[in-house]
Chains A and B, each alone.
Chain A
Amino acid sequence: AQSVTQLGSHVSVSEGALVLLRCNYSSSVPPYLFWYVQYPNQGLQLLLKYTSAATLVKGINGFEAEFKKSETSFHLTKPSAHMSDAAEYFCAVNSLGGATNKLIFGTGTLLAVQP
């Protein structure tokens, strides 16, 4: 069964600093991986997804993630944090069950950006 683990439930960075949010996956088959962002009292918005086309995936708002099979990781990065990046971030893997699929989410990482 597929799963994801997000290391660090809270991450705090200064504005302009590098953002690194960690996600490790477990999957017996090549995974499809996603990063979603949730702003307060909002739904989830897709940041980016990995579907085996390229290991470095660029998403919206300057975020990117690199799929590393050897490390079973899919960490999310952004070179320079902005105040508006403060939100909850979820890593997810698409769990394949026969002809169906469903997203399995990590426990989330709350990103705080300090001025």
Chain B
Amino acid sequence: DTAVSQTPKYLVTQMGNDKSIKCEQNLGHDTMYWYKQDSKKFLKIMFSYNNKELIINETVPNRFSPKSPDKAHLNLHINSLELGDSAVYFCASSPPGRGVLGDTEAFFGQGTRLTVV
């Protein structure tokens, strides 16, 4: 019974194409995220949504457009893919913390390995 699930797990595509990655969580969390892990394993947040509202956009190129149809889903659409977009993309979710204090952890999906050729 997967908590945070992403599809597809692997994605190989040509430069210039448009692709989407889907994410669903069944944990009842209000907040969802997209993280990017580069080839050196460095993890960086891209977006955060809370109850379908965009909260964080970490200066990601506007070729990346997240969409949250409801609070259980956060999809990532990427236009005009570039070689540098090759990475592992992780979806995550987290429950509310105490007030605005970030004492809750994020639950991660298995990742989508995107390869742009």
Contact = CB atoms under 8 A, between A and B. Distances in A.
Given A107-B42, A108-B41, A102 B48 contact: yes
Interface centre among B4, B35, B44, B102 (most CB of A within 10 A): B102
A101 B43 CA distance: 15
Contacts, number: 68
B48 A90 contact: no
A49 B105 contact: yes
Interface string A11-49: 000000000000000000000101010100111111001
B56 interface: yes
Interface in B87-117: 90, 92, 97, 100-103, 105-111
B110 A43 contact: yes
B102 A32 contact: yes
A98 B100 CA distance: 7
Question: Which label, helix, strand, loop or mixed, suits the secondary structure of the A interface?
Answer: strand
Bin the interface of chain B by size.
20 to 34
A107 B56 contact: no
Contact of B100 (A88, A101, A107): A101
Question: Which label, helix, strand, loop or mixed, suits the secondary structure of the B interface?
Answer: strand
B56 A102 contact: yes
A103 interface: yes
Contacts of A38: 41
9 contacts: A32-B103, A36-B108, A41-B111, A42-B111, A97-B56, A99-B100, A100-B50, A101-B97, A101-B100
